Structure 1
């Protein structure tokens, strides 16, 4: 892995609050008509509300809190995301909750479409699927990566694709309902498993 690329990405990465401000600004600078006409902006608007809700309601499990309190070394989550991505809207607030619960984890977010070189290093089955969480140690070495969604949701996607050939709007709606019921638990479990193995 190109360490220089990781260093550059970390330097220009947004904090969570900067990322949220950027998304809100991109929405507020457009008229409601423009938002309606622009599908990606419309998704960003919807996802901004999802993230607001998750910021208020999501909680870390006791297991997650214990695990992050027992971390022996610091890590950075370098996350590739975009405001229009439904999976990112459900996952990034949970990553922020984890990061703000310990001084041992830092969170930096970069936009996929502005960071093609980085994205191309972390493809999922050849696709630029996001969010992608790159776990970096204190020397800015990549030690693991995760994403674009929790393992349970990944299985749901694969099973649906096998049966129907494509992911359609109905499945995307079902997936968001699953995320709402899951409340970030599966994301926490997957991330903690990775951190314990690091």
Structure 2
């Protein structure tokens, strides 16, 4: 597993590099992964979403302290694609959190170009994205998160239970929810993950 993680990490990119790539794709009427008109249009829309979230996300002071106290190098590897609506609302939040600590290095990996890595981190048997994988510098897996916060997941599940499917209507509704939430549910969950990791690391061996 570690060799797969290392090889994938070597192919990954930073958040600025990812945004630059998406911008170039837009100029070419293209997208990551298999091309389609729908995915191309979502890529354009997602670039706007990322810019909006970059400007709107605010980290509460007490939450910022959690990340500022990290004392060991961490890689945050995020599986993503340019057309993924959840990803466009999530990756700017993860970037804001990663910027709080010099010990965190956020790296982005394209799902469809890295199936071997993706298949290590399936969600209920599917290649759901965005998917965040946290490792220490030795590449031991600490935990994973994604593709959505618990609150967003519940919205999707409740809709599917009522309507029997995931359709364009709920996809629009979840994007409206993301805009209102401004990343706070993601911030809370990732913060709690880091608190638990720290408590586990400091816990005396029995």
> Normalising to structure 1: TM-score of the pair?
0.93
Q: Which runs of 5+ in 2 are unaligned?
A: 31-35, 198-206
Using the TM superposition, give the Cα deviation of residue 191 of structure 1 relative to its aligned residue in structure 2, in angstroms.
Answer: 0.8
SS at match of 1:72: coil
Asked whether the 8 Å contact 2:12–2:107 carries over to 1, the reply is: yes
Q: Compute the RMSD of aligned alpha carbons.
A: 1.2
Using the TM superposition, give the Cα deviation of residue 63 of structure 1 relative to its aligned residue in structure 2, in angstroms.
Answer: 2.6
**1:3 aligns to 2:2 (yes or no):** yes
- CA–CA separation in structure 1 for the residues paired with 2:123 and 2:191: 21
Match for residue 12 of structure 1?
Answer: 11
Q: Report 1:113-192 matches (<5 A).
A: 113-192=112-191
> Normalising to structure 2: TM-score of the pair?
0.90
Give per-residue Cα distances to partners, 1:115-134, cap 9 Å, x unaligned.
11111111111111100000
Asked whether the 8 Å contact 1:61–1:185 carries over to 2, the reply is: no
Using the TM superposition, give the Cα deviation of residue 157 of structure 1 relative to its aligned residue in structure 2, in angstroms.
Answer: 1.2
Q: May I ask how many residue pairs the two structures share in their alignment?
A: 192
Please list every run of at least 4 consecutive aligned residues from structure 1 whose deviation after the TM superposition is greater than 6 angstroms.
none
Match for residue 84 of structure 1?
Answer: 83
Asked whether the 8 Å contact 1:131–1:147 carries over to 2, the reply is: yes
- CA–CA separation in structure 2 for the residues paired with 1:180 and 1:12: 31
Match for residue 34 of structure 1?
Answer: none
- CA–CA separation in structure 2 for the residues paired with 1:48 and 1:183: 16
Match for residue 62 of structure 1?
Answer: 61
Give per-residue Cα distances to partners, 1:140-181, cap 9 Å, x unaligned.
111110000111111111111111111111111110011001
Using the TM superposition, give the Cα deviation of residue 71 of structure 1 relative to its aligned residue in structure 2, in angstroms.
Answer: 1.8
SS at match of 2:79: strand
Match for residue 101 of structure 1?
Answer: 100
- CA–CA separation in structure 2 for the residues paired with 1:90 and 1:197: 24
